[in-house]
Amino acid sequence: MNRDRAAAGSDAQDLAQRQAAILANVSDAVVVVSVRDACIVYNNAAFERLLGYAAGELLGMPIARVHAADAGSPEAVAEKLMNEARRSGRWDGEILHRRKDGGTLWTLGAISTHDLPGWGTVCLGIHRDIGERKRAEAALRASEEQLRVIAEHALDGIFFIDRAHGIKYLNPATLEWLRGLLDLPELTLEQMLGRRVWDVLGNTELSRSYRENSERAMASGESSSVEERVGRGRQARNRLTLRVPIRDAAGEVVGLLGIARDITARAQQEAARLAAMRRQRDLLVREVHHRIKNHLQGVLGLLRLRLGQSPELAAPIAEAMAQVRAIAGVYGLTGRSSQRGIDLARIVHLVAQAATGAVRVTVDLEEAGSILLREPDAVPIALVINELVTNAMKHLSPVEAPRPVRVSLRRDGDAVRVEVCNGPAWLPRGFDLAQGRGIGTGLQLLSTLAPSEGASVLIRQHADEVHAQLELRAPVVSLR
């Protein structure tokens, strides 16, 4: 029996040694406090390292010595924790400790009560250092506070919406903008939170634009920047809105951060700058075209002088003079034109007036309406029309009385047709404009002069007349 008792005692001693070895080597800090006098009766090495004490220094020390408190006394904190543990059997929470060097640190503690042989009723505390977490939380709070202050005082509108487009945050600038837009001066942030943006804005163009742009940003997961004109009349404002998708830890888009800047002043300045540039451009264009026109008038004077000196060259000189007058007239119109283009009817009338010869030229523009010719094509088109009129005046029957050359301008759907008719007249046998058969030097120029896109020339025999037609389409002309 004595041997059995000895064996049992040996086993218990071995178990106690193993338990002590385990407690001594766990990473968590362990401390045992006697409830009777609130002093430490056991602690492992991790608890000593945590508080900066040497081996054995903590044994017998009141537990209040290693507690810190924001309010009250360390003794009161220690008593409160022990009472909580005794009342409910266990207490869990964060504890602020005081180190040997006077510094403090936070632990996550679990305190429980037990009745242990030799120690009586004790509180067992297991603690884990959460200093890094607390510092990270403090840094996060400081960062959040900084961001809150920035957002609250920002002149730009800042808002955050969740995946369902519910409003989660509006800064004062956004709220003030909404008050003015909706004419609700008493609107509060609480009235906005949780509501969808388009429910607030109603069935408006801004609401539809907002929904489309926000859904596109969330679906694509990419930031976007959109300029919008908001409001009506003088109250309208230009806003540049940046939308940035917000993602969770798994990378899923959970919301949208919006930053809206009022760029009305910048837009007005840009519009004023562009208007000033257009005015300057128009002034320079008018001056250049005026000078070109004056120079062409000088060329006409030289041609008239040559005509008097060389009567045998009357026909080619007259053709050259008609071409120069057409070009000079176009430059006169270009100098006074709008940015949109040059009135085609005025060009047709100008060319017809400039034509000289033994046959009268009539012009019919009654059904033309408003037709604008693209400015770079004005001179080539004027020369094509001049060539058609000149050709019609030259090629008439030598034995029959000529009828007036008729020039008309008509619209047909999205096309415009300038038609020149003369008679009596007949096309040469085998005439083919497209193949270049039976045509003179003047008509040979048509393919060179006419724009390659949006312009075509057709010449055909009709009874005892020749009908020449210039058809124009976009982009050469635009109809109004």
Domains of the chain: 20-134 (3.30.450.20), 154-262 (3.30.450.20), 269-479 (3.30.565.10)
**Which contacts of 104-108 are long-range, i.e. CB under 8 A and separated by 24 or more positions?**
104/68, 105/50, 105/129, 105/131, 106/130, 106/131, 106/134, 107/29, 107/50
Sign of the C-alpha dihedral computed for residues 461, 467, 470 and 471 taken in this order: negative
Backbone φ/ψ region at 231: left (φ over 0), alpha (ψ -120 to 50), beta = left
* Cα separation, 289 vs 72, whole angstroms: 93
What counts of helices (H) and strands (E) characterise the chain?
A: 14, 18
Tokens at residue 469, please?
């037609």
Q: CA torsion angle for 472, 477, 479, 480 (degrees, to 10)?
A: -150
- Residue by residue, pLDDT tens for the chain (480 residues) are 555 555 444 554 554 556 566 666 678 999 999 999 999 999 999 999 999 999 999 999 999 999 987 666 888 888 888 888 888 889 999 999 999 999 999 999 999 999 988 889 999 999 999 989 988 988 989 988 888 898 888 889 999 999 999 999 999 998 888 888 788 888 888 888 988 888 887 777 778 888 888 899 999 999 998 887 776 666 677 888 899 999 998 999 999 999 988 888 887 887 788 877 767 655 655 555 556 556 566 666 767 676 677 777 767 777 777 777 777 766 666 655 555 688 888 888 888 887 777 788 999 987 667 888 888 888 888 888 888 888 888 888 888 889 999 999 998 888 999 999 998 998 888 888 877 777 666 666 677 777 878 899 999 999 999 999 999 998 888 887
Tokens at residue 294, please?
């004056």
Q: Are 378 and 409 in contact (CB under 8 A)?
A: no
In the sheet with 455-462, reading across from the earlier edge strand, the strands are 361-364, 405-412, 415-422, 465-472, 455-462
Largest CA distance in the chain: 161
Tokens at residue 50, please?
């945590």
- C-alpha distances in angstroms, 231 versus 58, 206, 228, 328? 73, 9, 10, 48
The per-residue pLDDT for 12 is 44
- C-alpha distances in angstroms, 153 versus 150, 241, 320, 372? 5, 18, 74, 53
Q: Are 370 and 480 in contact (CB under 8 A)?
A: yes
Q: Which residues neighbour 100 within 8 Å (Cβ) at sequence distance 6 or greater? A: 51, 52, 53, 57
DSSP helix/strand/coil, 294: helix
The per-residue pLDDT for 101 is 94
The per-residue pLDDT for 422 is 92
